[in-house]
Structure 1
Amino acid sequence: MKTLGIILIVIGIAMIIVREINFTTEKKVADLGPIELNKKEQKTVAWPLYGGIAVAVIGVVVLLASRKTAP
């Protein structure tokens, strides 16, 4: 549980710092024998600031809960 808490804290901090991820996908539109038509689409995955804060807080709660239950 301690490891899970630390991982959640690190992911939460990363989500706060990096607010979105951009990537490009390539989609095949048509294949006409030797000619191939592809379309590149740029996509963005974004999350709100409170999402990163929530993940970090949950990580702290898990970390504190694992300390109380451990002997």
Structure 2
Amino acid sequence: MKLIGILLIVIGILMIILREVNFTTKKEVADLGPVEIKKKEQHTVAWPLYAGIGVAICGVVVLAGSSRKTA
């Protein structure tokens, strides 16, 4: 559980620092025998600041909960 908590904290911090991710995909538009027409499309995935803060807080809660000793 400690590993999951640490991973959530790291992912949450990365989400706070990197507010969006850009990537490019290639899409085939037409295939006319020996001639192929392809199109590059750019996509952006963005998330709000509170999502990263929430993930980091969940990681802290999981980490704190896993460090408690059960009787």
Q: CA deviation at 1:70?
A: 5.6
- How high is the TM-score relative to the length of structure 2? 0.95
Name the counterpart of 1:55: 55
- Matches of 1:21 and 1:70, distance apart in 2: 41
Q: How many residues align?
A: 71
Name the counterpart of 1:18: 18
Q: Aligned AA for 2:60?
A: V
Q: Any stretches of 5+ residues in structure 2 without a counterpart?
A: none
- Matches of 1:33 and 1:57, distance apart in 2: 55
Q: Deviations 1:19-39 (Å, cap 9, x if unpaired)?
A: 000011000011001100111
- Matches of 1:65 and 1:11, distance apart in 2: 18
SS in 1 for 2:68: helix
SS in 2 for 1:69: coil
Q: Aligned AA for 1:14?
A: L
- How high is the TM-score relative to the length of structure 1? 0.95
Q: Deviations 1:31-68 (Å, cap 9, x if unpaired)?
A: 00110011111000111000000000000000000011
Aligned-residue sequence identity (percent) comes to: 68
Structure 1 stretches of 4+ with a deviation exceeding 2 A read none
